[in-house]
Structure 1
Amino acid sequence: MQSFGIISLDNESEKNYIDGIAKFAHKYDFQLYRFTPDDIELENEKITGFKFNSKTSIWEEKTFTIPTILYDRTFYRDEIEAKKYSRILNPLKASSKFHFLGYGLPNKLKMYEMLKHNERIRPYLPYSKQVNDAGFVIDYLSNHQKILLKPVFGSQGRGIFVIQKQGHLYDIQTVKSQSLIIKTFTEKRLNQWLQMLIANYPYLLQPYLSLKDEKEHPFDIRILLQKNETGKWSVRGKAIRVGQKNSILSNLAAGGIPKTFDSWFKKQTAEKKVFIQESINEIINTVPTLLETIFHPLFEIGIDIGVDQKGAVWILETNSKPGRNVFLTLQPEITETFFRAPLAYGKYIISSPKKGMVNDEQVLSN
């Protein structure tokens, strides 16, 4: 029986998902473990974590050797946390003893800088630039009126701001606890606020894209791709996330609601349908292979796609540790598929171990 370990930052993270995987592990001849990076002793390759007892369906605290197959489900809140745990996980990613289902992706800015060189993908990428000083933002606003500031590290819409120039004043919008917060600053106050913001966290600037539906609700398309039991990329689901009216975010954590892709797509004009479908096909047929060519092997990818009010299609974000809630809410019948998928791909890696290894000593940090 092979060993399969799931890594998360705490042992309650994604509990339902990991418990679901555990219930099917024995069917794939895996002994399942879960643990945190802090539980790992690199010197003797031992871990004190939890072992799943398939007979009792109980997690038992045990000390064990580092599992052969590793599934990284750590979500870092900032660069400091990413660097801290990368020092623990990177030696495992660089070792031929262990096989990760996926080796992660770099931050948003590095992703943009690498992907923009691909001619097929470049048209779908919003311009992105790291904010190094407040003056750059203010100068950009003088020509573009409205921008988006997004943390280089981060997820679930946390720390996102929309800034709009209104004459000599500036409106700043953000979402906290699912509520839209708006503040108005003078240029001097905006300068001070921006300097404080970028002093604590790296941010990137993007042009504001009007990604709203006919009812003025922000929305985006979430596509989940995973490798199947033969190592081929497969689309597991497509869904629409619709935010609250006049909000700036559509993700579920900010109060958005899921809708089926088909219910939205059928409302589009025939011409728009063709353009959107061709664009999505090009994105999902290009991005996974491109990312693995530039970076390292992956198991799953979440791609968030925006369609602006002019019909243009944009890649908003690409995530190597995607969530599943939007799909489970709309299609609960695929729950078992999600539980089995990591195990099925893990079996494929064992049969073709080179498919789950990196070739470089330098591995990704998040």
Structure 2
Amino acid sequence: MKQEALQLVSENSRSGTFFVPVEMFKEYVDRMQFPTAISFGTKTVSCEVAPHPDQKNEYKLSSDLWDQLMIPHESLIHVFQKDQTLYLGPLVGIFTAGFTQFNLRPIGERSLFFAKLLSVEKKIGAFYFVFGAHQIDWENGTVNGYFYTNEGWRQRKVPIPNVVYDRLPNRKVENLEFSKEVKERLQKEYDIPWFNPGFFNKWDIHQMLVNDNEASKHLPRSYFQPEFHDIEKLLEEFKQVYVKPANGSLGLGIQQLIQKNDDPFVYCRFRNNEENRLRRYSSLKRLVRRQFPFGLEEMIAQQGIRLLKWNNNPIDFRIHTNKDDEGKWCVSAIAAKIAGTGSITTHVKSGGEVKTVKEILHDIGATPTIAKKLHETALLLSEKIDANMPGFIGEIGFDIGVDQDEHVWMFEANSKPGRTIFSHPKLKGDDLQSRRLPLEYAVFLFKQSVEKQPELVNAHGTFL
């Protein structure tokens, strides 16, 4: 039985009791079957159920159960039932690293990012917090997590959460033993849904999609750990080639090779020391030898695309997709990114500019059907990646281009997309949507996990 998200408050007058709206209590009376246990996070205790004393459309929990379950504060919540147990929440933990000793900014420069994520708690109905490996008390099954409240950041001890949203900052941290141990223990010992479990490898994603008839038409021709003749062949056919790290992010390490018609020189555009650079070489062999002195191991060479342009600067599109409260993919945010003058990428840090899709299509006189193509392609690719990846994937950030024939190309898919585009004043709605959806998806995973649960308590109300 699913109830709408309602407010949960504390009650002092009666012990061991969960008070529910009158209509909900009538359903128990009609069935002559009452819940005997209540669960929050991974903690379960015995309880009685009674009608709300003031007949309000809210939940009340007696203060003794409130303390036993370690409810952090009053909040809007969902309640799901399986057999004789009521499940409150969900309690959703965002797993990350990089914590500091400063209460005002406990996750350093990313504190504002997490504060904005957590702020949707009251809109969705859940308890939402941030935690790291060192805040878990494995012996007692608790987490000393960071909640963002009206008074700022506060630490509260709560049970192990129902769902974990992975926001580790980079691959290096992800590959540390303590990160792997936390993930393994929470999934194996507690059977917790863990979504966005890892960073994507660009070549793995390419290989996953290249054999799919629908997806492959959106992939530029690419080579992993290319030989010299692979680059030579791409450059001869497409006149531009992009070489990038298979495990790169934020546009770091990308280099563009350019061969102009009737020009004996080969050019390389790249970024170095926060500057956009352009070098000229007398031959491709000299360029490769100089620009890639350590070889092309773990690199990808990809055909260049003749992209749509704005004021002669290439345009690509950042599209965020998320799963919603029914576990279905939707487009949560989309924006056009314009490359800065002389820049190899459209990243804002490299001088790029962000515009809405409507603005850019109007400015360049493109057909409105491009927006529809972008949405359809992003959803198609999301579903294909999701179908072929292990674990739960809740969001993907795509870098997608449109060529001058209006064909759509996927350049990259990122499992933990950046959010620089949301600084655009006209993308505030997209920003909110992209923050709401991960928590809505967590509610969906919570409901699924409840439906799979065996009866959790024995006659004494202790956890089995």
TM-score, length-scaled by structure 2: 0.65
Where in structure 2 are the equivalents of 1:27-38 lying within 5 Å?
Answer: 30-37=126-133
Quick check: 1:266 aligned with 2:362?
Answer: yes
Which of the numbers 241, 248, 254 marks the counterpart of 2:337? 241
Q: Provide the C-alpha distance between the structure 1 equivalents of 2:200 and 2:354, rounded to a whole number of angstroms.
A: 28
Change (3 A) 1:132 1:75: farther
- Residue pair 2:343, 2:351 contacting (<8 A) in 1 also: no
Q: Provide the C-alpha distance between the structure 2 equivalents of 1:176 and 1:263, rounded to a whole number of angstroms.
A: 31
Q: How far off is 1:33 after superposition? A: 3.0
Question: Aligned with 1:309: secondary structure?
Answer: coil
The match for 1:83 is: 175
Q: How far off is 1:298 after superposition? A: 1.7
**Percent of aligned pairs with the same amino acid:** 21
Q: Which moved more, 1:321-330 or 1:342-351?
A: 321-330
Which of the numbers 313, 316, 341 marks the counterpart of 1:217? 313
Q: How far off is 1:192 after superposition? A: 5.3
Q: How far off is 1:49 after superposition? A: 5.7
Change (3 A) 1:211 1:36: farther
Quick check: 1:123 aligned with 2:203?
Answer: no
Letter matched to residue 319 of structure 1: N
* Number of residue pairs aligned between Structure 1 and Structure 2: 348
Q: Provide the C-alpha distance between the structure 1 equivalents of 2:186 and 2:315, rounded to a whole number of angstroms.
A: 36
Q: How far off is 1:35 after superposition? A: 2.9
Letter matched to residue 298 of structure 1: I
- Residue pair 2:143, 2:160 contacting (<8 A) in 1 also: no
Q: How far off is 1:209 after superposition? A: 1.5
Q: How far off is 1:231 after superposition? A: 2.5
**Structure (1 or 2) with the greater helix fraction:** 1
Q: Provide the C-alpha distance between the structure 2 equivalents of 1:24 and 1:255, rounded to a whole number of angstroms.
A: 31
Q: Which has the higher contact order (CA 8 A, sep 6+)?
A: 1
- Residue pair 2:221, 2:303 contacting (<8 A) in 1 also: yes
Quick check: 1:56 aligned with 2:154?
Answer: no
Q: How far off is 1:290 after superposition? A: 1.6
Q: How far off is 1:239 after superposition? A: 1.2
* 1:148-184 C-alpha deviation (Å, 9 max, x unpaired): 1011112111110012347665322112455311223
Quick check: 1:206 aligned with 2:312?
Answer: no
Q: How far off is 1:241 after superposition? A: 0.9
* 1:230-267 C-alpha deviation (Å, 9 max, x unpaired): 32322222211112123221122322111111112235
Change (3 A) 1:103 1:182: same
Give the alignment's Cα RMSD to 1 decimal. 3.3
Quick check: 1:110 aligned with 2:208?
Answer: no
- Residue pair 1:301, 1:320 contacting (<8 A) in 2 also: yes
Quick check: 1:306 aligned with 2:401?
Answer: yes
The match for 1:4 is: 92
Q: Provide the C-alpha distance between the structure 1 equivalents of 2:404 and 2:275, rounded to a whole number of angstroms.
A: 24
The structure whose Rg is larger is 2
Could you list the runs of 5+ residues in structure 2 that have no partner in the other structure? 1-88, 99-106, 453-464
- Residue pair 2:119, 2:148 contacting (<8 A) in 1 also: no
Structure 1 outlier segments of 4+, above 6 Å: 40-43, 45-48
Which of the numbers 354, 369, 385 marks the counterpart of 1:291? 385
Could you list the runs of 5+ residues in structure 1 that have no partner in the other structure? 357-366
Letter matched to residue 184 of structure 2: P
Q: Provide the C-alpha distance between the structure 1 equivalents of 2:418 and 2:165, rounded to a whole number of angstroms.
A: 14
Q: How far off is 1:9 after superposition? A: 3.3
Letter matched to residue 262 of structure 1: K
Q: Which moved more, 1:44-53 or 1:179-188?
A: 44-53
